[in-house]
Structures are given as C-alpha cells and as structure tokens.
C-alpha cells in the first residue's frame, strides 16, 4: 500500500497532522531572523575622519558634546553642496590639522587646503544605530563592500548546508537532521555575538547559514510528507509564520540598536525549540523508503489512533517488504538519479534554474529594503508583511489553476514589477512597485518548494530539494553583489532581477502539473510522472503500482525505466497538460 493511500485511510489532515503542522508553524517563525538580521547588522552609517589631536578641545568653550563634535567636523572635514542644496561631508579624507589649535569657529581655509586619509580612524553617526558591523570593524573607505561580502559568505553556508544536510536527511532521517541544524544555528548565532574580528564574524555567519537553510528545507519536507494529496497545498501557509517572524524582527531592531545584543536576542529562542522535538515524529515516508517498516508501522498506527481511524493488518505484508527490499538493493538512490534519465534530467535543469532566479530576486529585494527611500524599519516591516497575502493567494491559485500556471503567474508579476522600477524615482512610488515585485517572487518561492517536493520520489526527495537549494544558494551568493552594481546605475539591480524572473516564468510552463496527484514513491514513478499512455488504461500516477507492473512485459518496463518508451510506437506519450 502506497503511503498516500495510507493517508487516505488514516486521514489526510487529521488531528495528528495538525499537531505536526502547528510545530512547523512555531519553527518557521524564527527561520527568517538569521537571514534578515543582516539588514540591521550590516547597516551603513554616516562617518567622517577622527581628529584625536583636537580631543578634548571644547571644555574651555562650554560647548555640549554634540555641538563640539559638529564644530570639529566643520573645521576638519571637507564639504560641499549637492545639486539639491544639501551639505555633504567627505567620509574618507580630512584637512591636515596637525599642529593647529582648535577653536569653535575655525575656518579650514585659514590654515590648510591639503587633505590626508583617515589614519586615526573614524567618527560614526550613532543617531540611528549605536553599533553595526560597519562601526565595530571599520567597514568603510575601501572596505565598505565587505558588508555585502559577509552576506554572500552567509549564503555560501546556505550552499554547503543544502548539499550536506540534503544528503544527510535521506541517510539518517528528517528528525535528526532537523535537530542537528537547529543546534548548529544556535551555537554559531551565540558565537557571532562575541566576534573579535570581521573574519571571525564572517566565518560564524557561514555556519549560521549552514544550519539555517537546512533547518528550513528539512522542516518543509517533513511537514509535506505527512499531508495527503488533497490537502498538501496547506503546507504553503506554514510560510505565513515565516513572514510574521520577518515583520516581527523590525520591532526588536527598532528598540535594540546594538547589533551584538540584537543578534543574541533573536538567537536564544532557538534554544526553546528543542522542546518541540518531543512531539515531532520522524517521517513515516522516509522510514518506509529505507526499509524500516516496523518503525513506520508504529508511527502510522499512532497517526491512526490520534485520528480515530482503522488500519488494515498487517500494514506491510511480507511479500510487499521483500519486493521493496529487492528494488532497493538493486539500485541505491543517489544524487545522480536526478539526471540519470531524460525526463528527470530536463526537469531537474529547469527546476534548478527557477530556484536560482527565485533565490537571487527574493534575497536581493529583501536586502535592498533599506534603500527604497523610506524609513528603514517601516520598509523592512512592509517587505515582510507583503509576503502574507502572497501565501494566502498561493493557497487559492495552486488549487484552482494548478502549480504550473501559479508559478508562471507569480514569476511574471515579480519580473514585470522589478523591470518597471527602472523608471521610478526613490520614494513611496518606488517602494510600492518594489513591494509588488516582492509579492510576486514570494508567491513563486512558496509554490516552487511545494512543486519540487511533489515532482520527485520519496527516496531522493531530500537530495532533490537539497540539490535545487544548493544551486539556488549560488544565486543567493550573487544577490548582495548585484546590489553593488547600483553604484553605476541605481535601478540596475532591479532590472537584472526583473529580466531573469520573466525568463524563469516562461520556463515554468515546461513542467508537468502535479495538482491532486499521488507523490511518486520510486525512481521509476518519478521518471514516468507527467506522462500519459494509450497502451494502458490509466495514467501511472493513478494506478496501483503492483497492478501496473503486472500489466507490462520486461522489455516494456525496461523502456519506461530507461526513459526510451516514448520512442516505441506501442507507447504514444504526451505531456500531461
């Protein structure tokens, strides 16, 4: 009996699955913090050269600290007016004031026109942020791009974590992988608080990304694998708590202006998540896929008990176990199965591209929220809040229009919005259009997670998600670097994001529809998924596997398994539109 058939017996979304769902909601609330805290952690601040030779210089004049600082700044820092009439001070040079005594009304033109670099360090404007990584590690004047580099290193952790934990989840199970990723995120998050240098900080950010992305992916997989076909789109709503957590981060960030304390505050809740593991089960699908039938039956029996449903006995017959064990021994699944057969290979390439575009655009728009011309905290909260209606929209469109069209629509909306931003000046109008882009790309990201889980068989599902996530993290690494291109033309990053989104939306139309279909359990079913044949009466997805196997000759099985059945006149196959 296939696991989707078992779910129809015990309940596709009964009390037991609802409990797992609530745990997923709790976990998901914290997932966004590790990534989005960089908006405040790496925030740029105004700065100018320090003049220690003038400290203290205001005591005998009776000036306040603020007035003294302004007087020293006026007397030592070059300045000029912009075309808008705004006075702008130099950030990386100062007048040579060595040997010049300080007085409040000093005029630089009276003593020197020569300038020097900031060899004595910088003074930072702390009116908005008490400390950031910029102020603690002096990431200015030639080192400013290191703030984006550290975020790319964080996304490098995403890349490594996607590979490592994606494979690990198919080896040791979803539960232990989720436990380990939470532990890694907790330890690295606390270590960041005590960073003595930028290099230590960047290294710990790598490990935080390493654990965070795997936690997110594994959580999504285990949540999806317990929900029946007709209710599976509900997993998208788990992401609403991601968005709520995203919005919530603006609140502590507003009141806590020290990046170290803020990091500690948003990391410590991971400690309490370990309590939830008591009620979180291992994936029964995974237990079946690795031949642990007794443990799987125990979990399924518990599901049936809580849902007040009856199960047939025995659940897994001796013949069923022997047949599945032979299939498993004949071919052990690996990452190569993602590209071994023709249709799986093309599907994987397509999904990898769409994942890469989604990741680049989503993270690029999120990290750019402070450059939209409005209050940082308001822009950040709006950027997170716009995700909530996108997730609710997804629930509707994936059920009424299917996964494929939904993905196409969301990517196209996001792409066109980003492209149009090239013609809009900074301010409320630009923020509005950027939010439309964020709305679209958020919707597509939620759909592509669900879509990928449904397209791949159970025994390589973890590897498949990990593989797609791995490549998407390559794109995520480039997202902060693309933002640097704004120094050449302000709208350029958004134009790049928009163009790629439009191309990805068109490529999504080549994928098969999965709405209401049973999840493929074996590699053969994965390759056959999305095909129709006139040689058999029903589509493969809707037939019992054993009955289908008995209805084919060995040569026909070999052709379908190898992906060459479509070349045989006896099989007239077409894409499932």
Per-residue pLDDT of the chain (577 residues; tens, 9 = 90+): 677 778 888 888 899 989 888 888 888 888 889 988 998 999 888 999 988 877 766 767 777 878 888 888 888 888 888 777 788 889 899 888 777 777 777 777 666 667 888 888 999 998 889 999 999 999 999 888 888 889 889 988 888 887 788 778 878 888 999 999 999 999 999 999 999 999 999 999 999 999 887 777 777 777 777 887 777 777 778 888 888 998 999 999 999 999 999 999 999 999 999 998 998 888 888 888 888 888 988 999 999 999 998 887 778 878 778 777 776 666 566 667 787 888 888 888 999 999 999 988 887 777 665 555 557 788 888 888 888 899 889 888 988 898 899 999 999 999 998 888 777 776 677 778 878 888 999 899 889 888 888 888 877 777 787 788 778 878 877 777 787 787 778 778 888 888 999 999 999 998 888 887 776 766 777 677 766 543 333 343 344 344 334 444 444 344 444 333 433 333 222 333 3
Q: Of the candidates 232, 212, 490, 464, which has an alpha carbon nearest to the alpha carbon of residue 355?
A: 464
pLDDT value of residue 208: 93
CA quadruple 216, 220, 223, 225: dihedral, nearest 10? -140
Q: Of the candidates 125, 115, 69, which has an alpha carbon nearest to the alpha carbon of residue 92?
A: 115
The beta strands (E) that lie in 301-346 are given as: none
Give the other-Cβ count within 10 Å of 82's Cβ.
8
For CATH 1.20.1250.20, the residue range(s) in the chain are 3-43+141-510
Using a 10 angstrom Cβ sphere, with 0-12 exposed, 13-18 middle and 19 or more buried, the burial of residue 167 is middle
Give the other-Cβ count within 10 Å of 240's Cβ.
20
pLDDT value of residue 195: 96
Q: Which two tokens stand for residue 456?
A: 């791949």
How would you label 173-197 residue by residue, b for 16+ Cβ within 10 Å and e otherwise? bbbebbbbbbebbbbbbbbbbebee
Beta-bridge mates of residue 115: 95
- Angle at CA 27, nearest 5°, toward 26 and 32? 110
Q: Which two tokens stand for residue 252?
A: 């502590």
Q: How far apart are CA 96 and CA 113, in angstroms?
A: 8
pLDDT value of residue 374: 58
pLDDT value of residue 561: 41
Task: Tell me the backbone φ, ψ of residue 203, rounded to 5 degrees.
Answer: -65, -45
Please check whether residue 381 is in contact with residue 366, taking contact to mean a CB–CB distance below 8 angstroms: no
pLDDT value of residue 57: 66
Q: Of the candidates 452, 353, 454, 440, which has an alpha carbon nearest to the alpha carbon of residue 394?
A: 440
pLDDT value of residue 522: 67
Helix (H) or strand (E) holding 122: strand 122-124
Sequence-ordered list of residues with C-beta below 8 angstroms from that of 93, at least 6 positions apart, any chain: 49, 78, 115, 116, 117, 118
Segment 191-194 long-range contacts (CB within 8 Å, at least 24 positions apart): 192/263, 192/267, 193/260, 193/261, 193/263, 193/264, 193/267, 194/260
Q: Of the candidates 3, 547, 16, which has an alpha carbon nearest to the alpha carbon of residue 289?
A: 3
CA quadruple 337, 338, 340, 342: dihedral, nearest 10? 140
**CATH label, 3-43+141-510, candidates 1.10.760.10, 3.40.50.12280, 1.20.1250.20, 2.70.150.10:** 1.20.1250.20
Q: Of the candidates 161, 177, 181, 158, which has an alpha carbon nearest to the alpha carbon of residue 169?
A: 177
Q: How far apart are CA 171 and CA 471, in angstroms?
A: 21
CA quadruple 211, 215, 221, 225: dihedral, nearest 10? 130
Q: How far apart are CA 57 and CA 67, in angstroms?
A: 11
pLDDT value of residue 548: 35
Residue 530, phi-psi category: left (phi > 0), alpha (psi -120 to 50), beta (remainder): left
Residue 62, phi-psi category: left (phi > 0), alpha (psi -120 to 50), beta (remainder): left
Beta-bridge mates of residue 87: 81
Question: 């285990």: which residue's tokens?
Answer: 222
Q: Of the candidates 396, 433, 400, 428, which has an alpha carbon nearest to the alpha carbon of residue 414?
A: 433
Q: How far apart are CA 233 and CA 395, in angstroms?
A: 6
Q: Of the candidates 151, 124, 125, 129, which has an alpha carbon nearest to the alpha carbon of residue 259?
A: 129
Task: Tell me the backbone φ, ψ of residue 88, rounded to 5 degrees.
Answer: -120, 130
Sequence-ordered list of residues with C-beta below 8 angstroms from that of 197, at least 6 positions apart, any chain: 137
pLDDT value of residue 554: 43
């Amino acid at each position: 009996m296939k696991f989707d058939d078992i779910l129809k017996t015990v309940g596709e979304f009964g009390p037991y699955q609802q409990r797992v769902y609530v745990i997923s909601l709790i976990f998901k609330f914290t997932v966004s913090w590790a990534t989005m805290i960089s908006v405040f952690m790496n925030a740029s601040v105004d700065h100018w050269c320090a003049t220690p030779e003038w400290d203290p210089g205001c005591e005998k004049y009776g000036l306040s600290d603020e007035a003294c600082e302004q007087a020293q700044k006026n007397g030592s820092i070059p300045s000029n007016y912009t075309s808008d009439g705004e006075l702008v001070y130099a950030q990386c040079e100062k007048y040579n004031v060595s040997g010049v005594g300080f007085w409040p009304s000093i005029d630089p033109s009276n003593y020197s026109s020569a300038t020097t670099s900031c060899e004595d360090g910088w003074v930072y404007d702390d009116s908005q942020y008490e400390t950031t990584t910029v102020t603690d590690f002096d990431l200015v004047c030639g080192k400013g791009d290191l703030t984006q580099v550290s975020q790319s290193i964080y996304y490098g952790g995403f890349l490594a974590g996607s590979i490592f934990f994606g494979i690990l989840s198919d080896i040791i199970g979803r539960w232990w992988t989720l436990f380990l990723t939470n532990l890694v995120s907790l330890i690295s998050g606390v270590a960041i608080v005590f960073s003595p240098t930028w290099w230590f900080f960047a290294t710990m950010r790598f490990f935080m990304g390493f654990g965070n992305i795997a936690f997110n992916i594994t959580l999504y997989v285990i949540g999806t694998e317990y929900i029946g076909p007709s209710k599976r789109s509900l997993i998208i709503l788990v992401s609403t708590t991601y968005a709520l957590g995203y919005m919530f981060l603006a609140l502590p960030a507003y009141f806590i202006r020290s990046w170290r304390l803020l990091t500690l505050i948003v990391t410590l809740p991971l400690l309490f998540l370990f309590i939830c593991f008591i009620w979180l089960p291992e994936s029964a699908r995974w237990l079946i896929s690795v031949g642990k039938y007794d443990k799987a039956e125990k979990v399924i029996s518990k599901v049936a008990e809580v849902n007040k449903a009856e199960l047939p006995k025995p659940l897994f017959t001796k013949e069923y176990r022997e047949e599945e064990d032979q299939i498993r021994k004949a071919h052990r699944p690996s990452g190569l199965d993602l590209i071994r057969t023709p249709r799986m290979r093309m599907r994987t390439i397509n999904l990898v591209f769409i994942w890469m575009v989604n990741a680049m655009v989503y993270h690029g728009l999120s990290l750019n929220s402070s450059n939209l011309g409005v209050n940082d905290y308001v822009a950040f909260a709006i950027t997170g809040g716009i995700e909530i209606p996108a997730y609710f929209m997804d629930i509707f469109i994936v059920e009424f229009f299917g996964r494929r069209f939904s993905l196409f629509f969301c990517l196209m909306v996001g792409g066109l919005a980003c492209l149009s931003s090239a013609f809009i000046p900074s301010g409320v109008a630009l923020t509005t259009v950027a939010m439309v882009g964020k709305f679209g790309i958020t919707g597509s990201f939620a759909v592509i997670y669900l879509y990928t889980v449904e397209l791949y068989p159970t025994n390589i599902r973890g590897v498949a998600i990990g593989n797609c996530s791995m490549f998407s993290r390559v794109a995520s690494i480039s997202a902060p670097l693309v933002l640097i291109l704004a120094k050449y033309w302000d709208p350029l990053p958004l134009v790049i994001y928009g163009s790629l989104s439009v191309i990805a939306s068109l490529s999504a139309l080549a994928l098969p529809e999965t709405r209401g279909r049973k999840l493929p359990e074996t590699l053969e079913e994965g390759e056959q998924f999305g095909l129709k044949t006139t040689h058999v009466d029903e589509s493969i997805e809707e037939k019992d596997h054993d009955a289908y196997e008995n209805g084919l000759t060995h040569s026909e099985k070999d052709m379908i398994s190898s992906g060459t059945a479509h070349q045989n006149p006896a099989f007239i196959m077409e894409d499932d539109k």
